Every structure is written in C-alpha cells, then in structure tokens.
C-alpha cells in the first residue's frame, strides 16, 4: 500500500463519515423531537429525547464549523511559522 | 540545524486528525443515548483539533529545543568535539593500561599497581561503551529525527487515542534529547568547574591535553609533513605527528593530538628534509586557546612560504607579497646579500623557478628524506634588494612521508598521577557518572514533556 493509497483511504473514510454524520444528525434530531413531543408522561424519556436533540445540534454545529476551524488553524500556523 | 521532516507523513497525520475530528462529530450525532459511547464525541473532537495544531507546529518544537540549547551555550559542534576528544583520551588511557598490565610482574613488585590497573581498565572500558551509546543516541537524534518525528505525528493523530502516548513520547524524546545532548558538554564543564571537585575534570590537569594544531605557511596551510614535539630544555623529542590537510593528526582521532599540558615545548615542522622552528617559540601552555576541553593552536613560521603536496618553498629573506594561483606562486621578496629562496620538490613534480632581476647565483641539487626523494632549486642573492619570484609547479603522486606517529602519553607520568585511586574515581565521575546522570535527567524531562503533550485523559469540552 503506497502513501497515496493510505492518504486516499483516510480521505474517503473522512468523506463517508461526514456524509453519514449529516444523515445521522437529521435522524437523531427527528428521533429526539419525536420522543420529546410524544404524549407519554415519563420525565426520564422526555429528558433522553431532549439530550438527543442537544447532541444532534452540537454535531451539526461541529460539522458546519469543522472545515472552518481547520482552515483557521492552518492560517494561524502559517502566520507563526513564516 | 534544520530537521528535515517527512512532509508526506505529516500530511497523512494532518488528514488523520481531520478523520479523528469527524469521527467525534459522528459519535455526537449518534441517536443512541448511552454515555459510555457519547463521551468519545467531545474527546475526539478536541483530540482532532489538538493533533492538527500539533502536527503543524512540530517544527516549532524543534526550533525551540535548538534555541534553548544555544542559549545555554551548546551546539552539535561542541558536542562532537567533546565526544571525540573524550573518547580518544579514554582509548589512549586504555592502551596505557594494557601496556602496564602486560609488564611481567617479577617477584610481585608490581602487584599493587597492576591490580589497580585492572580495575581502571574495566572502568574505562565501560566508560567507552557508554560513550558509544551516547554517540549512537546523538546519531539517531541528528539523522533520524525528521523521519521519527513524522511517524510520531501520525501516531499522535490516530483516532481513539490508540497510539497517542507513543507519538507524544517519540516527539518529546527527540525534542528533549536534540537540545539536551548539545548542552551535555556545557553541563559537564559547569560541574567540573565547581571548586568542590578539586583535581576533577579536564585531563589537562594531569599533564596531558588534547590539542588541535594547525600548521600554517605564509600561503595557506601545510599540506603534509611531520610535526616534532620537543622539550624546550633538553631538546628531546616526546612526540611525533603527521600533518595532513593543515592539521597535526594523531592515532585515534582526527580532532586532535595529545600534547603535554604543563611543559614548555618546541614544535618543529619538517618537510622534504627541511625543518622549521614554529612560532610560538617556545610554546607555553598559555599559548593555547581552550574550547570545550580541546586546546587550539596555530603554528606558523615567517620563512616558510608554501608547503604543498610534494612542494616546499622557503627563504631566509623577508616576504613582502604573495600571489597564489592553482599551480603558480608569484612572490615579491626582499633578500639581503647571501639570503636565498629555495624550492624543493619530489621526483614526480615539474617545477620552474624564475627570479628577476637575476643578480645572484643558482644552486641545484638533490635530497632524500624518509621514503621521498627529489631535487631542489635555490637562488642566492648577491645584493640587498627586492626580487620578483615566479614558481610554477605541476605535481603528480603523493608527497606524504611514510613516518610513524609517536603519540605523547608519558606512561610513567600518567601512571604516577593516574593510579591514585582517587583520580580514577574522579575520572569515572567525569566521563561516566555525570553523563549518565545527565541522560537520566533528560529522560525524565522527556517523560514529563510527553505527558504534557499527551494531555489528560478527559477534556472538559461539553458546554451544556
């Protein structure tokens, strides 16, 4: 396995994971609202639904901001090293 | 120095940190409300960002390490000089001890000294092995650090902290040791300079020094020849070294040769059968410049104009100006009546000497010296005046004499002072114990740095 192949493998995996994460965000978000909004009067269940929503929102936040963060790191580092 | 990092590996490490980050995000987005799995979300996100920063600033770590080493006065050059001079001193002492051990012990008179010699021999052997170990470490840190650091970065950036501590350890080790080894001689000198260790440290205190001696003609350094070291008082030759590429070379080391450190001596440079008393004449211990335990000295002589491979030009007058081209010397020289300028060369050389104006006599003849033989061409002035001399030479073959090196190590003197047991103890302290202490110190610093780089197990990122 050459370096390029390793690199491609990593990049493809990252890409797939990103796509999957977006899909899962939608799923988790809907499941979360479904549980939270369901007419079952159990507080524990409602809290679980709530935490799913919060987690999915965080995931969406990191997904959206991820590439920005890494570009920012690259930019700052290039400022320091040059 | 620059550390040539492997940028392909670093790129992989950077991409791995991205992967780590997105795996963290994926775990965040999982619709499974289990804290055991979910806790990896924020950890991996933080790891990914940290690893990306780390991979990109890895150069700065090395630069900082080098800077610190330079601030305390260390450098790879200093380290190399220290290692080379100390190991050749150890080898010399070992050879002396072997000689002592091989002296037949008639009627048990030498039992005392021989038993100490045996112990000292073992100690010096282990010190030598230890020095080789340090040299090996330095080699790894100097030559493999770029490659190893890149591998370390990849390990560091792997998801789920699989190899994070290994990567942190490799990089911490390289950074700490590349800075620390450069500063090792500084540490030893500082310790040896401490007054509570009297009679401890540089071998120069025991009448012997490692010196780097250059032999300089008016035009360039002497290519080859023989350097005799003589006692000033009795004229007795105590050592003999071969000059190569301008420097006196010993048996064990190219860094320098062993010379007496407490005696007034005379350096006599001999080539093609002519010898010159070199300036400073005589040479006092104070004439040397001491850097890192190595004594430096430049020898010169105002009558030695040029000493090349198989060619020697010298005079008894005063040289005003020299112009040197590849195979040609143009000299302006002031000669009094009966002063001369002479060129000597080996058989395989074509040499022409022309002097203008030609108011004087020419003498030609032959000489032989060690394994070499050849001719000389001499111009003797009949007036007091300035001459323009032009010498063209074209040499093939080697002009290096086949003479044996006689290293300075007065066995009796060293045996007298060295075989006080106390001295051996100090010696081992300087070459073995202190360096190992220092290495242990570096090791623990590297450990601490690795821990700092590896970070704590849990990082509080959740902002709920």
For B127-168, give the DSSP string.
Answer: HHHHHHHHHHHHHHHHHSHHHHHHHHHHHHH-GGGSSHHHHH
In chain B, the percentage of residues whose pLDDT exceeds 70 is 86
Task: Quote the pLDDT of residue B34.
Answer: 80
Q: For B31-110, where are the alpha helices, taking DSSP H only?
A: 35-38, 40-56, 58-71, 76-102
Residue B431 above 60 pLDDT?
yes
Look at B192 and B42; give whichever has higher pLDDT. Answer: B42
The Cα B331–Cα B324 span in angstroms is: 8
Residue B252 above 80 pLDDT?
no
| DSSP labels, B64-80 | HHHHHHHHTT--HHHHH
| Average pLDDT of the segment spanning B388-398 | 89
Tell which residue, B305, B276, B379, B306, has the closest CA to residue B337: B379
Residue B173 to residues B2, B134, B442, B448, Cα–Cα distance (Å): 17, 14, 8, 10
Look at B35 and B381; give whichever has higher pLDDT. Answer: B381
Top residue of A14, A16, A32 to mutate, by most chain B CBs within 10 Å, is A14
Task: Quote the pLDDT of residue B116.
Answer: 74
Residue A50 to chain B, least CA–CA distance (Å): 10
* Contacts with B33 from chain A: Cβ below 8 Å: 48, 51-52
Task: Quote the pLDDT of residue B411.
Answer: 53
At residue B399, what are phi and psi to the nearest 5 degrees? Answer: -105, 20
Q: Mean pLDDT highest for which of A13-22, B143-152, B431-440, B454-463?
A: A13-22
How is residue A39 annotated by DSSP?
A: S
Out of A6, A7, A77, closest to residue B56 by CB:
A77
Q: Does B231 touch chain A (CB under 8 A)?
A: no
Residue B248 to residues B296, B299, B309, B390, B399, Cα–Cα distance (Å): 11, 10, 15, 29, 16
Q: Which residue in A has a C-alpha nearest to residue B21's C-alpha?
A: A66
- The label of the residue with tokens 């070199």 reads B278
Out of A17, A54, A73, closest to residue B56 by CB:
A73
Lowest mean pLDDT among A15-24, B15-24, B236-245: B236-245
Lowest mean pLDDT among A1-15, B5-19, B174-188, B397-411: B397-411
Top residue of A59, A64, A75, A78 to mutate, by most chain B CBs within 10 Å, is A59
Residue B161 above 50 pLDDT?
yes
Q: For B294-433, where are the alpha helices, taking DSSP H only?
A: 411-418, 421-428
Task: Quote the pLDDT of residue B369.
Answer: 92
The Cα B2–Cα B72 span in angstroms is: 19
Task: Quote the pLDDT of residue B198.
Answer: 41
Flag if A17 and B45 touch (Cβ within 8 Å): no
Task: Quote the pLDDT of residue B200.
Answer: 38
At residue B31, what are phi and psi to the nearest 5 degrees? Answer: -85, 40
Residue B418 above 60 pLDDT?
no
Tokens of B352: 């022409």
pLDDT tens for B310-334 read: 999 999 989 888 998 888 999 999 9
Tell which residue, B36, B7, B14, B20, has the closest CA to residue B162: B20
Look at B87 and B379; give whichever has higher pLDDT. Answer: B379
The Cα B165–Cα B176 span in angstroms is: 16
Q: Is residue B330 within 8 Å of B323, Cβ to Cβ?
A: yes
Look at B250 and B252; give whichever has higher pLDDT. Answer: B250
pLDDT tens per residue across all 82 residues of chain A: 788 899 999 999 999 999 999 999 999 999 999 998 889 888 888 888 998 999 999 999 999 999 899 999 888 888 887 6
Look at B247 and B460; give whichever has higher pLDDT. Answer: B247
Out of B8, B22, B53, closest to residue A21 by CB:
B22
Q: Is residue B300 within 8 Å of B283, Cβ to Cβ?
A: no
Query: If you compute the radius of gyration of chain A from its CA atoms, what whole number of angstroms results?
Result: 19
How is residue B430 annotated by DSSP?
A: I
Flag if B49 and A7 touch (Cβ within 8 Å): no
Flag if B31 and A62 touch (Cβ within 8 Å): no
Tokens of B106: 């008639």
| Average pLDDT of the segment spanning B358-384 | 90
The Cα B214–Cα B228 span in angstroms is: 13
pTM: 0.63
Q: Which residues contact B449 (CB under 8 A, 6 or more apart)?
A: B172, B175, B176
Provide the number of CB pairs (under 8 Å) joining chain A to chain B.
93
Residue B457 above 50 pLDDT?
no
**Residue-averaged pLDDT of chain B:** 83
The Cα B72–Cα B181 span in angstroms is: 12
| Average pLDDT of the segment spanning B12-31 | 92
Task: Quote the pLDDT of residue B154.
Answer: 93
The Cα B389–Cα B329 span in angstroms is: 8
Strand partners, B243: B225, B248
Q: Is residue B227 within 8 Å of B241, Cβ to Cβ?
A: yes
Tell which residue, B319, B439, B295, B338, has the closest CA to residue B388: B319
Window B:50-109, CB contacts with A under 8 Å: 52-53, 56-57, 59-60
Residue A14 three-state SS:
helix
Task: Quote the pLDDT of residue B189.
Answer: 77
| DSSP labels, B179-223 | HHHHHHHHHHHHHHT-TTSTT-S-GGGGTEEEEEEEEE-SSSB--
Please classify residue A9 by burial: count the beta carbons closer than 10 Å to its beta carbon, then call 0-12 exposed, 13-18 middle and 19+ buried: middle
Task: Quote the pLDDT of residue B52.
Answer: 92
Out of A10, A14, A18, closest to residue B12 by CB:
A10
């Amino acid at each position: 396995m050459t370096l390029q192949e390793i690199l491609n493998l990593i990049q493809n995996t990252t890409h797939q994971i990103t796509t999957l994460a977006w899909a899962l965000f939608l799923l988790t978000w809907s499941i979360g609202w479904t549980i939270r909004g369901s007419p079952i009067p159990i507080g524990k269940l409602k809290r679980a639904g709530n935490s799913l929503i919060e987690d999915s929102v965080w995931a969406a936040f990191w997904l959206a901001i991820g590439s920005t963060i890494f570009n920012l790191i690259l930019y700052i580092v290039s400022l320091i090293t040059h | 120095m620059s550390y040539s990092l492997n940028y392909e590996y670093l790129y992989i490490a950077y991409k791995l940190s991205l992967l780590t980050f997105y795996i963290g995000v994926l775990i965040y987005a999982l619709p499974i409300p289990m804290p055991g799995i979910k806790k990896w979300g924020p950890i991996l996100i933080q790891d990914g960002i940290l690893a990306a920063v780390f991979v990109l600033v890895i150069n700065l770590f090395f630069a900082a390490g080098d800077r610190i080493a330079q601030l305390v006065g260390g450098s790879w050059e200093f380290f190399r000089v220290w290692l080379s001079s100390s190991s050749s001193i150890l080898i010399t002492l070992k050879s002396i001890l072997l000689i002592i051990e091989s002296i037949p012990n008639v009627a048990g008179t030498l039992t005392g000294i021989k038993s100490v010699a045996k112990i000292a021999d073992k100690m010096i052997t282990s010190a030598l092995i230890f020095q080789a170990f340090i040299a090996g470490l330095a080699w790894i840190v100097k030559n493999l650090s770029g490659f190893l650091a890149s591998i370390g970065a990849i390990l560091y950036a792997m998801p789920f902290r699989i190899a994070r501590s290994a990567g942190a350890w490799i990089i911490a080790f390289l950074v700490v040791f590349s800075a620390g080894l450069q500063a090792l001689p500084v540490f030893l000198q500082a310790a040896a300079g401490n007054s509570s260790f009297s009679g401890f440290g540089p071998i120069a205190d025991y009448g012997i020094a490692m010196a780097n001696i250059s032999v300089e003609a008016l035009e360039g350094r002497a290519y080859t020849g023989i350097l005799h070291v003589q006692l000033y008082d009795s004229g007795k030759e105590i050592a003999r070294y071969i000059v190569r590429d301008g420097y006196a070379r010993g048996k064990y080391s190219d860094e320098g040769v062993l010379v007496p450190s407490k005696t007034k001596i005379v350096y006599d440079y001999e080539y093609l059968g002519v010898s010159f008393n070199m300036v400073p004449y005589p040479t006092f211990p104070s004439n040397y410049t001491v850097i890192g335990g190595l004594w430096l000295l430049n020898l010169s002589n105002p009558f030695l104009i040029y000493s090349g491979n198989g060619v020697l030009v010298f005079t008894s007058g005063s040289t005003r100006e020299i112009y040197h081209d590849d195979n040609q010397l143009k000299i302006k020289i002031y000669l009094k009546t009966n002063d001369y300028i002479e060129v000597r060369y080996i058989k395989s050389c074509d040499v022409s000497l022309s002097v203008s104006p030609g108011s004087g006599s020419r003498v030609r003849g032959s000489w032989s010296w060690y394994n070499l033989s050849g001719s000389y061409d001499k111009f003797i002035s009949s007036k007091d005046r300035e001459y323009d001399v032009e010498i063209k030479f074209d040499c093939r073959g080697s002009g290096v004499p086949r003479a044996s090196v006689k290293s300075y190590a007065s066995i009796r003197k060293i045996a007298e002072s060295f075989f006080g047991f106390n001295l051996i103890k100090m010696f081992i302290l300087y070459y073995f114990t202190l360096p190992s202490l220092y290495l242990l110190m570096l090791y623990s610093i590297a450990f601490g740095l690795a821990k700092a780089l590896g970070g704590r197990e849990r990082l509080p990122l959740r902002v709920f």
